[in-house]
Structure 1
Amino acid sequence: MRFMMMVRIDENAAPEGGPSPELMEEMGKLIEEMTKAGVLLDTAGLRPTSEATRVHWDHGKESVIDGPFTETKEVIGGYAIVQAKSKDEAVEWAKRFVRIHGEDWEITSEVRQIEEPEG
């Protein structure tokens, strides 16, 4: 089963300067462990919403809005796609990921199973 872990953050509440070198080192270790275990299929951080564009469709009307999006408190700051035996296993990896952020961060990892094509 494949799962997507969407990492949600409040861009305005993140520590100034972003992740510390220590956090990046710990993240690198976890990513390496997940890769060696054959769990991690893909992962990346996302650029800030100030560089984003939203394309919205509402009952036949299209709108295009450039960021930043001040009305949004939480945004997806990154993602990981993992191959796991169960949702419980994917959630355990997500727990490990959020824990390494320590007390300076407020972070949520939403874990959702990816629909697989039938057949």
Structure 2
Amino acid sequence: MVIVKANRDTEAGKMPTTEMLAAMGRFNEEMAKAGVIEAGEGLHPSVKGARVRYGGDEASVTRGPFDLSSDLVAGFWLIKTASLDEAISWMKRAPFEPGSEIEIRQVFSAEDFGEAFTPELREQEERTRATAARK
């Protein structure tokens, strides 16, 4: 997963220029033709979001906006590459403004959970994914 970090402009709701949208569209097309991109979206500013914190008997909710910090996310891609180095290579070519920042993180696969992910849990996961795909 490629996590696009928020900045002052994204948190202010400033939309990208036509030129930036076109450049990002070309980059996404290039990744699609290579079979790399699985999904990708931009996110609204944190003023339109909420955080849910779990603890005790109840979950607490804090509505945005949130202070601009390195944990705010402005968008994401789900990409599939053979290695972290390949993901880095793709993302170094992304058409971002100077000062932009991304984070690349590996998504867990079922195999990563080992024996704790029992056959019953695997079946449940497959049913859930099939249901979601139909919606």
What's the TM-score once normalised by structure 2's chain length?
Answer: 0.73
State the SS of the aligned residue for 1:114. Answer: coil
CA distance in structure 1 between the aligned counterparts of 2:66 and 2:5, rounded to whole angstroms: 15
Residues 1:115 and 2:112 are matched in the alignment: no
The aligned length equals 110
Cα RMSD for the two superposed structures: 2.0
Q: Name structure 2 gaps, 5 residues minimum.
A: 115-135
Of structures 1 and 2, the one scoring higher in RCO (CA 8 A, sep 6+) is 1
CA distance in structure 2 between the aligned counterparts of 1:113 and 1:35, rounded to whole angstroms: 19
Query: Where do 4+ consecutive residues of structure 1 move more than 2 Å?
Result: 12-18, 58-62
What's the TM-score once normalised by structure 1's chain length?
Answer: 0.82
Residues 1:73 and 2:69 are matched in the alignment: yes
Residue 55 of structure 2 corresponds to which residue in structure 1? 58
Check conservation: 2:13, 2:44, Cα contact below 8 A: no
Q: Deviations over 1:33-80 (max 9, x none)?
A: 00010000000001110100111013555210111113x423100000
Structure 1 or 2: more helix by fraction: 2
Structure 1 or 2: more strand by fraction: 1
Residues 1:48 and 2:41 are matched in the alignment: no
Q: In 2 relative to 1, CA 16–53 (structure 1 residues): closer, same or farther, beyond 3 Å?
A: closer
CA distance in structure 2 between the aligned counterparts of 1:63 and 1:87, rounded to whole angstroms: 36
Q: Name structure 1 gaps, 5 residues minimum.
A: none
Residue 96 of structure 2 corresponds to which residue in structure 1? 101
% identity of equivalent residues? 33
